[in-house]
Structure 1
Amino acid sequence: MSEKTVVKEEIKHNIKKPKLYQVLMHNDDYTTMEFVVEILVAIFNKQPAEATRIMLDVHKCGIGIAGVYSYDIATTKVVQAESLAEEKGFPLKLSLREE
């Protein structure tokens, strides 16, 4: 009979969490408050009450945080929101800021 030797190796994984980015909505004089809330609910998956709070931040402070995501997700959401705004004739602008 032959003996089997079992060797256990401990493998350490150095997995870094991805950098996170804030998606910022910028105030303008043309995009309606209702449309901003609609974008926040439809694209950023916010509840209506939270969407309204963010919209008021945008309106009063000139900028509001729509959400915090990894880079790829954040850029996708910016493109979706700006495309929908353009379709509706609004000049809504969004940007990213690294956390």
Structure 2
Amino acid sequence: MATKHENDGGTVLERQESKLKPPPMYQVLLLNDDYTPMEFVVAVIQQYFNKDRETATQIMLKVHRDGKGMCGVYPKDIASTKVELVLTHARKAGHPLQCVMEEA
């Protein structure tokens, strides 16, 4: 067991703190399909990711053009919850919209 000496300036504590990393963050992505209406995608982005209509439309167009679009970056548990909420909402509305998360 190491003992702290008065003259070591707290380096033991500093070394321990430097090992702590912030938790990984996850991006939540919507994936393009040929069936989900664009207006539905815009509404989902506004409702679940708190975006204004213009920003939601820009994200939807990115999904449409590039095959996927990022809706936000969150800690793992929040990202996972958002994915589940979006998938559940889309299925209830009869749309095959896919929502996934990946480490940022």
Shorter-normalised TM-score: what interval? 0.7 to 0.9
Whether 2:50 is the aligned partner of 1:53: answer: no
User: What TM-score, normalized by structure 1, do the two folds share?
Assistant: 0.84
Q: Where does structure 1 lack aligned partners over 5 or more consecutive residues?
A: 1-9
The secondary structure found in structure 2 opposite 1:91 is coil
Q: 2:91 aligns with which of 67, 70, 86?
A: 86
User: Distance between the aligned counterparts of 1:39 and 1:16, measured in 2?
Assistant: 33
Q: 1:75 aligns with which of 53, 60, 80?
A: 80
User: Distance between the aligned counterparts of 2:25 and 2:103, measured in 1?
Assistant: 6
Query: What is the Cα-based RMSD across aligned positions, in Å?
Result: 1.4
Whether 2:24 is the aligned partner of 1:19: answer: yes
Count of aligned pairs between the two proteins: 90
**One-letter code aligned to 2:22:** K
Q: Where does structure 2 lack aligned partners over 5 or more consecutive residues?
A: 1-9
User: Distance between the aligned counterparts of 2:76 and 2:97, measured in 1?
Assistant: 20
> Among the aligned pairs, what percent are the same residue?
47
Deviation at 1:54, TM superposition (A): 0.2
